[in-house]
């Protein structure tokens, strides 16, 4: 999943990050008029992101959101959704009891809950809310898994306990690159963990000093900035806190980052760790499809619950947040652990979604290797053939996807590509040269468009809410807009919706922005995706009205 990998890099290099912080053709636009390009997104004057900034309108609210609230207010007021759209969320789990989500959860009405039988004959017993492909028949679940590079390292070397395999010459070359990549990641992660612990310890010492200085347990950048540096220890604590705050490194973010790095060392980059026996499937057989259990929450549902809220938190209920789609049912398919998802599980999750009526599939995950990509390609073809839209997060490594892929990808190994697929990068509320999220992957021919993915407030387990950042947040914004169009314009096909979303995106092609990744190079926003645009719900609804006539 690795949803905050580049953010971790930024937090480790606080000051440096603050200062630096055959290709497929783009999908053709439909034969309707697209919005005029705006040219550039001015930097906002805000000191922090508005609560629902991703739904706001640039011309009215002065923040580069997707104009969803404006669309509801000006174009869809008085209208009722004409169907309920099923959105499958392939992720790490969902809190099925969350007050802002439970009314919009998908229910398999053909299944009798808890009877241990496969009542509807789809091969999955008691799949009332969806399915868990990383769980065992005994009810146990995989929480942590290795990175794919670790699994490839074990395949190439035999691992700590296994015999060294005999490799063909071509495979020896590939394995040498894999071994080098694995060793580099393991070394860097161990070093980063040491640095992170030092930051964590320093902040832990600074916070009591600052709390005493302000006379309250609630620390904000404004309050800390107002503290007079009367003593050396106060001055040092103040400087550290403010440097971290400038890079969104809150104490909670530091704590989460420390846990993530520890998880990477103990599990993700540990070649001796293998949780797959928990699942109990024939892992070597990618055609093996009927395994897992019905526990769609799993041991850590934070990421999936956050994604779900962005798409379909109940609107207008006076609780928490409003999702984007008006009439939606959220089908959870658990296939993404803390670590890298496995190709076999993703392929089966896509097929499950299609077979059980999903109209859109949200895929907020990615990794650097895909040894069974052919199986995922076949599943994507299956979704394409059934008219299901697939929305995928571009990834958070600040990389050019034209040089380094983040799997799964819409390009098939055998040639061609998935047609009903949208690849999404992350944009920021800050606008101007900071319009692009510093962690977002990009690519003129690989990324279709961008969507808000920085400081997005959404649901997390326990009826609570939290801000998070990543292309994992940007993808469900696009998924939500796609579902909104399908809600009100049921004659639109997945291909229609994709064309509309791409054609109606707000263009910032000439806007000079800081290219993601280290270096701080300024580039035209139009060089980072096929459209040079950010998804826009208001424009999309207007265009859908024309296309659906």
Same domain membership, residue 419 and residue 379:
yes
Tokens of 202: 């320093």
Same domain membership, residue 170 and residue 113:
no
Per-residue model confidence (pLDDT) at position 31: 43
Same domain membership, residue 195 and residue 110:
no
Q: Is residue 14 part of a domain?
A: no
Same domain membership, residue 292 and residue 264:
no
Q: Is residue 70 part of a domain?
A: yes
DSSP 3-state of 367: strand
> What element of type H or E holds 307?
helix 302-312
Q: Please state the φ and ψ torsions of residue 417, each to the nearest 5 degrees.
A: -155, 160
- In the block, which residue shows the tokens 């392929």? 347
DSSP 3-state of 498: helix
Per-residue model confidence (pLDDT) at position 250: 80
**Which is nearest to 544 in space by CA: 79, 54, 105?**
79
Q: Is residue 4 part of a domain?
A: no
Same domain membership, residue 155 and residue 131:
no
Same domain membership, residue 184 and residue 77:
no
Range of the domain at 457: 24-144+287-547
Q: Is residue 282 part of a domain?
A: no
Q: Which residues contact 441 (CB under 8 A, 6 or more apart)?
A: 394, 395, 396, 397, 398, 399, 400, 401, 406, 425, 447, 471, 516
Question: Which one of 234, 268, 302 terminates a domain?
Answer: 268
Q: Is residue 13 part of a domain?
A: no
Q: Is residue 94 part of a domain?
A: yes
Per-residue model confidence (pLDDT) at position 502: 98
Tokens of 501: 């979303």
Question: How many Å apart are CA 499 and CA 13, to the nearest integer?
Answer: 40
pLDDT 10s per residue in the chain (549 long)?
444 444 555 555 543 343 333 333 333 333 444 454 456 777 777 878 999 999 999 999 999 999 999 999 999 999 999 999 999 999 999 999 999 999 999 999 999 999 999 999 999 999 999 999 999 999 999 999 999 999 999 999 999 988 899 999 999 999 999 999 999 999 999 998 998 898 899 999 999 999 999 988 889 899 999 999 889 999 999 999 998 888 777 888 888 889 999 999 999 999 999 999 999 999 999 999 999 999 999 999 999 999 999 999 999 999 999 999 999 999 999 999 999 999 999 999 999 999 999 999 999 999 999 999 999 999 999 999 999 999 999 999 999 999 999 999 999 999 999 999 999 999 999 999 999 999 999 999 999 999 999 999 999 999 999 999 999 999 999 999 999 999 999 999 999 999 999 999 999 999 999 999 888 899 999 999 999 999 999 999 999 999 987
Question: Which one of 237, 268, 299 terminates a domain?
Answer: 268
Question: How many Å apart are CA 501 and CA 475, to the nearest integer?
Answer: 13
Quote the pTM value.
0.91
As for how many domains the chain has, the answer is: 2
Find out whether 38 and 508 touch, Cβ atoms under 8 Å. Answer: yes
Q: Is residue 195 part of a domain?
A: yes
Same domain membership, residue 487 and residue 396:
yes
Same domain membership, residue 346 and residue 247:
no
**Which is nearest to 503 in space by CA: 17, 1, 141, 36?**
36
92: domain CATH number is 3.40.50.200
Strands of 449-452's sheet in order across: 130-132, 328-334, 85-91, 360-363, 389-393, 421-427, 449-452, 533-534, 506-507
Same domain membership, residue 291 and residue 178:
no
Same domain membership, residue 467 and residue 412:
yes
Burial letters 58-75, b for 16+ CB under 10 A, else e: beebebbbbbbbbbbeeb
Find out whether 299 and 141 touch, Cβ atoms under 8 Å. Answer: yes
> What element of type H or E holds 393?
strand 389-393
DSSP state of 166: P
DSSP 3-state of 144: strand
Same domain membership, residue 443 and residue 315:
yes
Q: Is residue 467 part of a domain?
A: yes
Per-residue model confidence (pLDDT) at position 12: 53
DSSP string, 444-488: TTT--EEEE-SSEEEEETTTEEEEE-SHHHHHHHHHHHHHHHHHH
Per-residue model confidence (pLDDT) at position 255: 87
DSSP 3-state of 293: strand
Find out whether 181 and 152 touch, Cβ atoms under 8 Å. Answer: no
Question: How many Å apart are CA 421 and CA 440, to the nearest integer?
Answer: 18
Tokens of 203: 């902040």
Tokens of 104: 């919009």
Question: Which one of 241, 268, 295 terminates a domain?
Answer: 268
DSSP state of 267: I
Distances in Å between the Cα of 273 and the Cα atoms of 70, 161, 187, 263 are 50, 11, 17, 12
Same domain membership, residue 304 and residue 247:
no
């Amino acid at each position: 999943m690795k949803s905050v990998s580049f953010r971790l890099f930024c937090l480790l290099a606080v000051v440096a990050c603050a200062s630096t912080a055959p290709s497929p053709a783009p999908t053709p636009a439909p034969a309707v008029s697209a919005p005029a390009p705006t040219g550039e997104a001015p930097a906002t004057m805000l000191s922090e992101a508005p609560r629902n900034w991703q739904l706001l309108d640039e011309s009215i609210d002065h923040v580069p959101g997707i104009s969803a609230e404006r669309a509801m207010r000006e174009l869809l007021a008085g209208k009722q959704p004409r169907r309920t759209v099923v959105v499958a969320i392939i992720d790490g789990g969902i809190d099925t009891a969350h007050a802002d989500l439970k009314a919009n959860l998908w229910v398999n009405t053909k299944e009798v809950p808890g009877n241990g039988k496969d009542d509807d004959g789809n091969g999955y017993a008691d799949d009332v809310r969806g399915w868990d492909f990383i769980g065992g028949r005994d009810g146990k679940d995989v929480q942590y898994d290795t990175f794919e590079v670790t699994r490839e390292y074990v395949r190439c070397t035999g691992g700590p306990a296994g015999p060294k395999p005999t490799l063909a010459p071509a495979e020896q070359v590939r394995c040498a690159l894999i071994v080098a990549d694995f060793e580099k990641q393991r070394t860097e992660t161990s070093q980063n963990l040491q640095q992170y612990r030092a930051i964590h310890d320093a902040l832990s010492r600074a916070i009591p000093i600052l709390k005493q200085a302000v006379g309250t347990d609630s620390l904000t950048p404004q309050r800390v900035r107002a503290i007079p540096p009367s003593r050396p220890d106060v001055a040092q604590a103040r400087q550290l806190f403010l440097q971290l705050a400038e890079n969104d490194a809150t104490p909670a973010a530091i704590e989460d980052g420390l846990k993530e790095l520890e998880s990477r060392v103990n599990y993700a980059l540990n070649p001796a760790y293998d949780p797959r026996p928990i699942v109990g499937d024939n892992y070597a057989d990618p055609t093996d499809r009927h395994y897992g259990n019905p526990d769609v929450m799993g041991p850590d549902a934070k990421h999936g619950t956050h994604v779900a809220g962005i798409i379909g938190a109940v609107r207008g209920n006076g609780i928490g947040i409003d999702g984007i789609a008006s009439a939606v049912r959220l089908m959870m398919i658990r296939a993404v652990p803390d670590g890298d998802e496995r190709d076999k599980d993703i392929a089966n999750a896509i097929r499950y979604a299609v077979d059980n009526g999903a109209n859109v599939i949200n895929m907020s995950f990615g990794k650097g290797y895909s040894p069974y990509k052919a199986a995922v390609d076949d599943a994507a073809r299956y979704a394409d053939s059934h008219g299901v839209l697939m929305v995928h997060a571009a990834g958070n490594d600040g990389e050019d996807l034209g040089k380094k892929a983040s799997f799964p990808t819409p390009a098939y190994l055998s040639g061609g590509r998935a047609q009903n697929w949208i690849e999404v990068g992350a944009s920021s509320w800050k606008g101007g040269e900071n319009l692009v999220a510093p962690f977002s992957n990009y690519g003129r021919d690989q990324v279709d468009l961008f969507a808000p993915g920085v400081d997005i407030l959404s649901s997390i387990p326990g009826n609570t809410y939290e801000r998070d950042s990543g292309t994992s947040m940007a993808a469900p914004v696009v998924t939500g807009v796609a579902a909104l169009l399908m809600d009100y314009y049921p004659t639109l096909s997945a291909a229609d919706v994709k064309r509309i979303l791409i054609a109606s995106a707000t263009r910032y092609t000439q806007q000079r922005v800081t290219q993601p990744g280290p270096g701080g190079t300024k580039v035209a926003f139009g060089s980072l995706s096929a459209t040079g645009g950010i998804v826009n719900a208001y424009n999309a609804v207007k265009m859908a009205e024309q296309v659906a006539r």
